[in-house]
Structures are given as structure tokens and as C-alpha cells.
């Protein structure tokens, strides 16, 4: 079994392009959730969401590149470039057949799909653009990263709703652990702030009209966001051989399906995913001090996650810091897990965990320490990243900080 490490990270978030923009916003306790004019113009209402700054992508890609790149693929390519730069990967010195790309997405090229529907049904176009399929297909992001960097190992796309990128990272961990690759670009991307996705979520009555308040009394639902993130993951031997920086170790991976209700979360599924990740890490529960929670801000999800944490950690549960990055940036759908995980990596580097914002008071069934006072100084050695999704899909990753065993 190989030891698996993270050597690079890059992301696009509602705070802007780059992991430093994400960390700056979180470290200052800022909230990027705000009205989105381009949505308000189409669907009306307030349309509060976690959107990229309007000019964030101006001039980044050429006109020819944009013909083939959905907004989600743009996020993925920017994130991959930043991650590889941080990891200091020399493309000429790696075996391309031992380099893989594992990406997650919940909605694929939904921006392009929405545009195609408008062309076909609103404009009445007799034909669609020839690049519609390459832009819409769910595997576009993984394929574009493989093409750009010449990685000839497997290019896998994971689509497990809101757990997509976390599961992609978990499967990359398995690939590396069992020796089937030396390096994997793993993460996810989604650009869901269009009328098609917005109205679909609105129909579920799962979205908050104001902001995201995870674990809080008065919470009214999730808030959509957009973004992407990519990690460079390697075997420890491969990273050491090229003198790469070690950001963190991936210690364990738990994944399961409730096989219950398509929309309602359970307690046992998330609890079992956490148990599996902790068992894989071979650490006692007392070694963990932080949980980077799924924390959507919906009534049932937050209660179930809290109950699952209590079930797994027992008497140690009140000692954990539990925070939800979604309170700052919204729910990035398939990209949520990786962007939140990158926030956790930055937390371990800066020894400060992000707080859970917009908190109004304790819910009777959510009574853990949710770091509601804002960013907190903390030297975290071992921590969990949770992601739970529609379809009853549960993923948990166990990680340790740089240098920690």
C-alpha cells in the first residue's frame, strides 16, 4: 500500500480565481453570497448565490478556446494550472501513462445546455452549434485537463451529485494507494448559476431566500454557488523523488450509499462513511480535532450530520471544531467537496479554521461546536472532510496536516 499525499491545490471560488483569494475571504470571515444580476434579469427575485466576480474570467481564454469550453471546464482548467504550478510538476519528467485525471461534476456543462435549449426552443434555431456536445458532455473537464497536459492514464468523471469531487478524490486515493498511478489530478467543477438549474432547484423548495445558515436556528435551506478545484495527488515515493512540497496526507476514505430515500439524508450512511475513513486512517477518534462539514443549511441535512458525528465520535464529539464553508461561498454542487477541502488544507497551513457564518443561535438538534465566532486559531493535525448527496451518497475523507503521521 502506497502512502498518498497532496502536493498542489488550485481553485476558482465565489471569492475569485485562486486559492489565495479563497483563503483571504475565509480568513477575514467574509461572505461571498450576494444577489446575482445575471440571474435576477432572467428569473426575477433576489437570486442570492455564490457567484464569481463579474470580471473574473475576462481575457483569460481566447475566442477559439471559448468555443469548446463551457464555464465549468474553464474553472477546471484554471484550477488545474494553479495546482500543477504549486506542485512544481515538470511535465517532461513524469510518465504520462502513470498520470491520471479524476474529476467530479453534478451538472456537467449546464451553462451550455441552457444556451442550447434557448437556441432551440426560444430562438427557434433549426440547428445547434457544432461544439454543443463537446461543451455539454459531463467528461469535458477531465478530458480537457488530460489533453492540455498530455496525461495518458485514465480520465474518469464521477457524477454523484454534491459528493462528486470528494468521491473523485477518494477514488484517486485508491488508484494511487494500490499502485496503479504515480500522480492524479483530482477534483471537480460546476457552473450552475443559470436559469435552467436555478428553476429546477427552486422547484424542490430547498433554497434559502436570504443566505446559508448551517446548523443554525432559523436556517431555511441551501444557497447555490459556482466554482471548481483540483488537487495534485501523488504517491509519497513519487513526490519525494522529485522533491515536491507535501501539503497533506490522505489517510482514509469512506464511501457508501443509503439505498433508502432519493432525497432525504440518513444518519447511519454518513456515520458509516466517517467510521470507514477513520478506520482506514488507523487513528483513534480522539486524534481528530476538526470536521470540514457538508453543512448545507437545510433542516434535515444539518440534523443528520450532527447526529452522525455524535454517533461516531461519542464523548469526543463536543471537543471537535465543526464548520461549514458553504456559509461563506454557497453550495458549489459537484465542486463543493474539493473547494471546501482546499479551504481545509489552507486552514492547516495557516493554523486557522474557517468559521460557520450567518449563525443566529442553537438548533435543539444541532448542539456541537460549529465555530460560530468566526475564524479560529487552531493547530489541526488530523481532520475529516464530509460530503453527502442526493441519491443517498455519502463520502468522508480523513487527512493529516503536513508532517503529521
Q: Is 238 a catalytic residue?
A: no
Structure letter (DSSP) for residue 220 = -
- Residue 13 backbone phi and psi in degrees, to 5: -140, 170
Specify burial of residue 59 (Cβ count, 10 A radius: 0-12, 13-18, 19+).
Answer: exposed
Q: 365 phi and psi, to 5 degrees?
A: -105, 5
Integer Cα distance of 320 and 323 in angstroms: 10
Q: Is 141 exposed, middle or buried (0-12, 13-18, 19+ CB in 10 A)?
A: buried
Active site residue 350: no
Query: Cell 436570504 belongs to which residue?
Result: 210
* Proportion of the chain in helix, strand, coil states, percent, rounded to 5: 40, 25, 35
User: Looking at 31, 47, 99, 162, which residue is catalytic?
Assistant: 162
Of 114, 144, 238, 331, the active-site residue reads 331
What residue has cell string 440518513?
266
Residue 162 catalytic? yes
Active-site residue (options: 192, 294, 304, 366): 294
CA-based torsion, 281, 86, 76, 328: positive or negative? positive
Q: Are 161 and 393 in contact (CB under 8 A)?
A: yes
Continuous segment of H or E residues that includes residue 219: none
| Cell representation of residue 4 | 498518498
The DSSP secondary structure of 53-109, one letter per residue, reads -TTTTTTTS-HHHHHH--HHHHHHHHHHHHHHHHHT--GGGS-GGGEEEEEE-SSSS
C-alpha to C-alpha distance for 221 and 208, rounded to whole angstroms: 4
Active-site positions read 162, 294, 331
Amino acid at each position: 500500500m502506497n502512502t498518498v499525499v497532496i502536493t498542489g491545490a488550485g481553485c476558482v471560488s465565489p471569492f475569485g480565481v485562486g486559492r489565495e483569494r479563497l483563503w483571504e475571504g475565509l480568513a477575514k470571515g467574509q461572505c461571498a453570497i450576494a444577489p446575482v444580476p445575471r440571474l435576477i434579469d432572467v428569473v426575477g427575485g433576489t437570486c442570492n448565490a455564490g457567484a464569481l466576480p463579474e470580471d473574473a474570467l475576462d481575457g483569460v481564454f481566447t475566442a477559439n478556446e471559448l468555443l469548446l469550453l463551457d464555464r465549468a471546464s474553464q474553472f477546471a482548467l484554471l484550477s488545474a494550472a494553479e495546482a500543477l504550478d504549486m506542485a512544481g510538476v515538470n511535465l517532461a519528467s513524469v510518465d504520462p501513462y502513470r498520470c491520471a485525471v479524476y474529476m467530479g461534476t453534478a451538472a456537467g456543462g449546464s451553462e451550455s445546455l441552457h444556451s442550447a435549449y434557448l437556441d432551440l426552443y426560444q430562438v427557434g434555431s433549426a440547428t445547434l452549434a457544432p461544439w454543443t456536445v463537446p461543451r455539454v458532455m459531463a467528461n469535458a473537464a477531465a478530458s480537457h485537463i488530460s489533453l492540455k497536459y498530455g496525461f495518458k492514464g485514465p480520465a474518469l468523471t464521477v457524477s454523484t451529485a454534491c459528493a462528486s469531487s470528494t468521491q473523485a478524490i477518494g477514488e484517486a486515493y485508491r488508484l494511487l494507494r494500490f499502485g496503479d498511478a504515480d500522480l492524479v489530478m483530482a477534483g471537480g467543477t460546476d457552473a450552475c448559476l443559470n436559469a435552467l438549474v436555478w428553476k429546477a432547484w427552486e422547484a424542490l423548495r430547498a433554497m434559502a431566500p436570504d443566505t446559508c445558515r448551517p446548523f443554525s436556528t432559523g436556517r431555511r435551506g441551501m444557497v447555490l454557488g459556482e466554482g471548481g478545484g483540483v488537487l495534485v495527488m501523488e504517491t509519497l515515493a513519487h513526490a519525494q523523488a522529485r522533491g515536491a512540497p507535501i501539503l497533506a496526507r490522505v489517510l482514509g476514505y469512506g464511501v457508501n450509499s443509503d439505498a433508502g430515500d432519493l432525497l432525504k439524508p440518513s444518519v447511519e450512511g454518513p456515520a458509516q462513511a466517517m467510521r470507514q475513513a477513520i478506520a482506514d486512517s488507523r487513528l483513534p477518534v480522539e486524534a481528530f480535532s476538526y470536521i470540514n462539514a457538508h453543512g448545507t443549511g437545510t433542516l434535515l441535512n444539518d440534523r443528520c450530520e450532527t447526529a452522525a458525528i455524535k454517533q461516531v465520535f461519542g464523548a469526543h464529539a463536543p471537543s471537535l471544531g465543526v464548520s461549514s464553508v458553504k456559509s461563506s461561498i454557497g453550495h458549489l454542487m459537484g465542486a463543493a467537496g474539493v473547494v471546501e477541502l482546499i479551504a481545509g488544507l489552507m486552514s492547516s497551513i495557516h493554523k486557522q479554521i474557517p468559521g460557520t457564518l450567518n449563525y443566529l443561535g442553537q438548533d435543539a438538534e444541532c448542539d456541537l461546536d460549529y465555530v460560530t465566532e468566526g475564524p479560529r486559531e487552531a493547530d489541526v493535525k488530523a481532520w475529516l472532510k464530509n460530503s453527502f448527496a442526493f441519491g443517498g451518497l455519502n463520502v468522508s475523507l480523513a487527512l493529516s496536516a503536513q508532517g503529521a503521521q
